[in-house]
Structure 1
Amino acid sequence: MPAPSPRHKVVGLTITACGYDQFIDQVIDAARHRESGYACFANAHMIVEAARNPTFRQAVNRSTWTLADGVPLTWALRWLYGIRQERITGLDVLPTLFREADRHQLAVYIYGSTGEVLAMCNRYCLHHHPTLRIVGMYSPPFRPLSPAEEAQVTTQISLSGAQLVFVALGCPRQEAWMAALSDRIPAVLLGIGGALPVTVGSQKRAPRWMQRSALEWLYRFMQEPRRLFARYAVTNTLFLYYLAQQWYRQQRPLPADPAELTDSYL
């Protein structure tokens, strides 16, 4: 595994500071050497979820990479640390890694999503990457798997020879799954969530100008206003609140006597 990129804390998650090409190179190198690791793509929703859910926070922070998928996280890194971090999204990474896996003849496994989306993915890959080595696809039941079923899935993926495993279970399920099983699978796991249906054409992505203008969230909101209104209103407000708290703590000088430290400093 290449030397890990530096990470910086945003509220409760430590975000990897690296460039897009650097991340892709690290993933390909780890996959070629069949090294275990996993990548999470973080946004404001995940920051808020991590602040309220210690188990989820631990699962994400144990990752090999936690990337700034959402624009607010790139702003937070610049505000808190002066870091100009480019956005690294699952929506961009997935087609890039399909192409790179094809070029390097890496074995790919896709775990999650629905049977319909996996069928579309198979057609997409046959059309765009006809020589891509897809060694398996599996859409698990929505219910939690039993320990025996989990062990069977882990064995199946490992024996397939997969070097890249795209995990499309959605947050926070995919992060918990990767944290629990990554050590048992000699491959790089990537929690791509909703990137798979967009990549294969089941759903549409925001136009390029909206992506560049940090308005991709608005495009998603326009598609599903009823479902996303409460989530965006509550999540974004909490994200700004937690971020302001962190900024305030970072401006306060630490007391000379460590015994004077309180929870408000930690």
Structure 2
Amino acid sequence: MQIPRYASTSEIPRVAVAGIPFAATSCQEAVAVVLSEIRQPNRQHYPIRFSNAYCVALASRDLGYRRQLQDAGVNFPDGAPIALYMQRNGGSEFAQSLRVRGPSFFELALRRGVDEGVRHFFLGSTTETMNRLVAAAHQRNPGIKIVGTYAPPFGPVSAELLNEATKRIADSKPDIVWVGMGTPKQDWVTAELSRMTSTTCAGVGAAFDFLAGTVREAPLWIQQSGLEWLFRLAMEPRRLWKRYLIGNFTFVYHAERYLHHGRRRSSQRAAIEAGVDKEARR
């Protein structure tokens, strides 16, 4: 397995986009850090979020969700627009900040985790999709350890859901819990379960459907082009049009607003420091 540059996710540098901190790294590095960290005896337990432009747009009008993204855990930039603004906000030091796509992270972690003996728990989706997901994970990754699954009834996050998930996780003792429930629901679930179970929990959105084969995944060249959102919109226009069309405009507005606000504050600070320095030389 790749040896990570950082001992933990907390050491990865952060760059803020519209006031939300994102870890500046690559998908390969992110997987290496997380797999290394979850196997340490005195490891910290935290939620992992793969946040995109839609998440930032939601956070701009939902203070509770905004606090969730600013709270404990780590946000990886699951979206080309986020990575682009990280590069613009962070300067030349972060020019190589890359997208950390949730489904890609999930499949890479499953593959690399085989040799490390990582114990996985899958939470979310439907019973049919979960069965297909488990079968596909075993087929692609011989020797993988899937120690538990739970496909809860569809509905809002409830105490019953969290308590049942906590019980199953406690019984199976996984190293990491993968949650596929969609945004923002999975972000609340990962935060609560990581606290209740003392286990690292990662919300990976549509990754379950992609690996199970129940939803068509964009070809690699589209993923790398930054236009995967357009592909998904074409596949599910009725469900996703508001998320991508309205959400993307909302994201750009707030990202630009924070970007220019930050530059204005930097200019003001530089002017003040220059004035202080001028006075000191008199």
Q: Decide: shared fold, TM above 0.5.
A: yes
Are 1:106 and 2:118 counterparts? yes
Partner residue in 1 for 2:276: none
Task: Find 1:49's aligned residue among 32, 48, 58.
Answer: 58
Partner residue in 1 for 2:280: none
Q: How does 1:1-266 map to 2 (within 5 A)?
A: 2=8, 3-33=10-40, 35=43, 36-82=45-91, 83-84=94-95, 85-144=97-156, 146-147=158-159, 149-252=161-264, 253-254=267-268
Identify the range of structure 1 (100-109 vs 248-257) with the bigger mean alpha-carbon deviation.
Answer: 248-257
Are the aligned partners of 1:110 and 1:136 in contact in 2 as well (CA < 8 Å)?
Answer: yes
Cα shift at 1:12: 3.0
Cα shift at 1:71: 0.3
Distance 2:240 2:157 in 1: 28
Change (3 A) 1:63 1:198: farther
Cα shift at 1:218: 1.4
Matched position secondary structure for 2:11: coil
Are the aligned partners of 1:113 and 1:169 in contact in 2 as well (CA < 8 Å)?
Answer: yes
Are the aligned partners of 2:48 and 2:202 in contact in 1 as well (CA < 8 Å)?
Answer: yes
Matched position secondary structure for 2:55: helix
Are the aligned partners of 1:37 and 1:64 in contact in 2 as well (CA < 8 Å)?
Answer: yes
Cα shift at 1:149: 4.9
Partner residue in 1 for 2:275: none
Distance 1:37 1:109 in 2: 15
TM-score by length of 1: 0.89
TM-score by length of 2: 0.84
Change (3 A) 1:149 1:113: closer
Change (3 A) 1:137 1:10: same
Distance 2:179 2:18 in 1: 25
Change (3 A) 1:43 1:106: same
Structure 2 gap ranges (5+): 1-6, 273-282
CA RMSD of aligned residues (A): 2.0
Cα shift at 1:145: 5.5
The one-letter amino acid of 1:7's match is R
Partner residue in 2 for 1:261: none
Structure 1 gap ranges (5+): 258-266
The one-letter amino acid of 2:102's match is G
Distance 1:187 1:26 in 2: 16
Partner residue in 2 for 1:263: none
Superposed CA offset, 1:221-259 (max 9, x none): 1112233333322111111111121122122244799xx
Distance 2:129 2:216 in 1: 13
Superposed CA offset, 1:191-218 (max 9, x none): 0011111122111211122122211111
Aligned length: 257
Superposed CA offset, 1:166-190 (max 9, x none): 0111111110111122123232211
Are the aligned partners of 2:50 and 2:78 in contact in 1 as well (CA < 8 Å)?
Answer: yes
Distance 1:26 1:162 in 2: 17
Change (3 A) 1:235 1:103: same
The one-letter amino acid of 2:125's match is S
Distance 1:149 1:198 in 2: 24
